[in-house]
Amino acid sequence: MHHPQRRRFVLASLLAAIGAAHAGSGMGATREVTIALVLKAMPDPFTMAMVAAARGFQAHSPYPFKLVILGIQSETDAAGQIRLVDTAIKQRVDAIVLAPADSRALVNAARRAVQHGILTLAIDNPLDADALREARIHVPYVGPDDRRAAKRVGEYLARRLHAGDRVGIIEGVSSDLNAQQRTAGFRDAMQAAHVEIAATETGNWEYGQGRLAAASIIASQPGIRALLCANDNMARGAVDAVRESQLTGRVLITGFNNSDAIKPMIKDGRVLVTLNQFAEKQAVYGLDVALQACVEHRDQDDLSEYIETPVVLVAKDIS
């Protein structure tokens, strides 16, 4: 993961300031820009929050722009998302803000967009650095440092554990860089605490698969002390698997995303901690970067390589 080169906080007061500054620059006469926001798992609350924030940003933007929202229904339909990127290319949009369903599979689609002169950047999940080098393109990433964020979750859990305890990891789609980084961050924290990672299962970001993964770990690893889940959907599945195994309170569970569905579970202790990675800000930051680049007539290679967005831990004892 590259170190952040800058951080942007696009808040209501800042939007007003940006609008005032650029109104005086004469750039307000620029033709209307069209930006495609290409997402995954459209029914997921995380994605729905992105969509709502994107529409809010469009409504209050100092520059009028057309927003085209495209998305696949699942987490793993990379082929469908590639078709949506190609649709955006055919529509001759000015920029594409992409939440990749697969960090490698979407690289060629991104390359086609860049070759057509469309500014392209990734949010939520970065594109694979090696694949980008092979494709000879530069696609910025706007989002959190997932490894460092997951390490913070793991460190919080480690306060409840002892050296020699055994835990399991339920990870996201294995081809996604954000899933890989979260697993690495969990491992960093457990290694530092001298806690053994007894099993790792893939839950593909989904409740049902997370539940099955948790049940598998519980069955194969008696005495497991905790399950570190790479998102809240899988954490909810783990909660049910733990309850069905009559281990509630004995197996600690962590999440990631701070979804509305997880909040009551944090409150009553079924989930120890989650992490708010601000879906809304990721969408807004991504759109803001793309819009400003279009207005300023910047090239793809002029964009910063990494723009970090904030995260915060969410737990019952954290105000």
| Residue 25 pLDDT exceeds 90 | no
pLDDT score of 84 more than 80: yes
Measured between alpha carbons, how far is 171 from 154 in angstroms, rounded to an integer?
A: 13
The reported pLDDT for the residue numbered 198 is: 98
pLDDT at position 24 over 60:
no
How confident is the model over 182-186, as a mean pLDDT?
A: 98
Q: How far from 194 is each of 92, 116, 154, 164, 169, CA to CA, in Å? A: 53, 51, 12, 6, 15
pLDDT for the residue 19:
39
160 vs 7, higher pLDDT:
160
Average pLDDT over residues 52-74: 97
Residue 4: what pLDDT? 41
* pLDDT for the residue numbered 29: 40
Instruction: Tell me what percent of the residues of the chain surpass a pLDDT of 90.
Output: 89
Looking up tokens 């500014």, which residue turns up?
Answer: 119
**pLDDT surpasses 80 at 46:** yes
- Kindly tell me if the per-residue pLDDT of 223 is higher than 90: yes
- Which pLDDT score, from 0 to 100, does residue 31 have? 72
Does residue 293 surpass a pLDDT of 90? yes
- Mean pLDDT of the region 47-68: 97
Could you tell me the domains of the chain? Answer: 12-144+278-310 (3.40.50.2300), 146-276 (3.40.50.2300)
Per-chain mean pLDDT for the chain: 92
Stronger pLDDT, 120 or 27, i.e. the higher one: 120
Q: Assess whether pLDDT exceeds 50 at residue 12.
A: no
How does DSSP assign the chain, residue by residue?
Answer: -PPPSB-----HHHHHHHHHHHHTTTGGGSPPEEEEEEES-TTSHHHHHHHHHHHHHHHH-SS-EEEEEEE-SSSS-HHHHHHHHHHHHHTT-SEEEE--SSTTTTHHHHHHHHHTT-EEEEESSPPPHHHHHHHT----EEE--HHHHHHHHHHHHHTT--TT-EEEEEE--TT-HHHHHHHHHHHHHHHHTT-EEEEEEE-TT-HHHHHHHHHHHHHHSTT--EEEESSHHHHHHHHHHHHHTT-TTTSEEE-SS--GGGHHHHHTTSS-EEEE--HHHHHHHHHHHHHHHHHTT--GGGS-SEEE---EEEETT--
Strand 166-171 versus strand 226-229 pairing type: parallel
Structure confidence by residue, pLDDT tens digits, 117-174: 999 999 999 999 999 999 999 999 999 999 999 999 999 999 999 999 999 999 999 9
By DSSP bridging, strand 312-315 and strand 273-276 are: antiparallel
Res 78: pLDDT: 97
- Whether residue 18 has pLDDT greater than 80: no
Question: How far apart are alpha carbons 126 and 142 in whole angstroms?
Answer: 8
pTM of the model: 0.88
- In this prediction, residues 206-218 reach a mean pLDDT of 98
Q: What is the pLDDT of residues 240-274, one digit of tens each?
A: 999 999 999 999 999 999 999 999 999 999 999 99
Q: What is the pLDDT of residue 319?
A: 65
Res. 215: pLDDT tops 70: yes
